[in-house]
Structure 1
């Protein structure tokens, strides 16, 4: 197997997972990029827009568009940070109330997608992917 084949498969898997999330969240008027922001804010708390960009490996212009769409939907608010140039993004009460329904839809999708993967392989994949991602992010900052 060549590395081209491996990375092509990973890329195709990523695109298919994005499509599945989009299909799952479509009834709520959300897309995968929005879900990523909502999930991070829910699990990690309020963050600056630049920290969101760095954490999710997204460039500033698409992140700005995503945050603006979420704000227009009433799901995130923005407050100035200590440095007035910094915007701190947080979930609104509306998002906090709707989040459990979104999360349940995504969890059901996850369960469906992993039905054919034994628990032992899931644990291995999680460990391997966490380690690989950590090394990649560490290498990028060295």
Structure 2
């Protein structure tokens, strides 16, 4: 196996195991990783809209709509009317804020335990050109 294949295989393995751990933890909050990523984006961008969240996460609006509807059912987020009657402003509820804080704390623990023996700054420096390449291709 050449170095390029090994590199991408390693990324996939790390990603798969990380997502598995996250899913186990998130299931206690009735969340999937996709829901968590949108939930986290709404928290970080709040107040925001479905269109903005879908664009940041690079997902289709119908997919974002389904996920947001589930977050509303869980009482993690609420919507308010926007300037345009088709637009809805998304924010976290008090329960959503509390859940976000709990989940984020656990996510950070999972991440730190996963990277105990890794110099993350070195990895980030090495990955910078790859990340830049994929951002450029996306545009």
TM-score > 0.5 by shorter chain: yes
TM-score normalized by the length of structure 1: 0.80
- The DSSP-based 3-state class of the residue aligned with 2:85 is coil
C-alpha displacement of 1:64: 1.5
Alignment of 1:1-142 (within 5 A): 1=2, 3-117=4-118, 121-129=119-127, 132-141=130-139
Q: What 5-or-longer segments of structure 1 have no aligned partner?
A: none
Instruction: Give the TM-score normalised by the residue count of structure 2.
Output: 0.81
The 3 A distance-change label for structure 1 pair 7 and 84 is farther
User: Unaligned regions of 5+ residues in structure 2, if any?
Assistant: none
Q: Hey, what's the Cα distance between the residues in 1 that align with 2:45 and 2:37?
A: 12
Q: How many residues align?
A: 138
Distance 1:131 1:74, change over 3 A: farther
Instruction: Please provide the CA RMSD for this pair.
Output: 2.3
How many angstroms does 1:133 deviate by? 3.2
Give yes or no for contact 1:25–1:105 (8 Å, CA) kept in 2: no
Contact 1:76 1:89 in 2 (8 A): yes
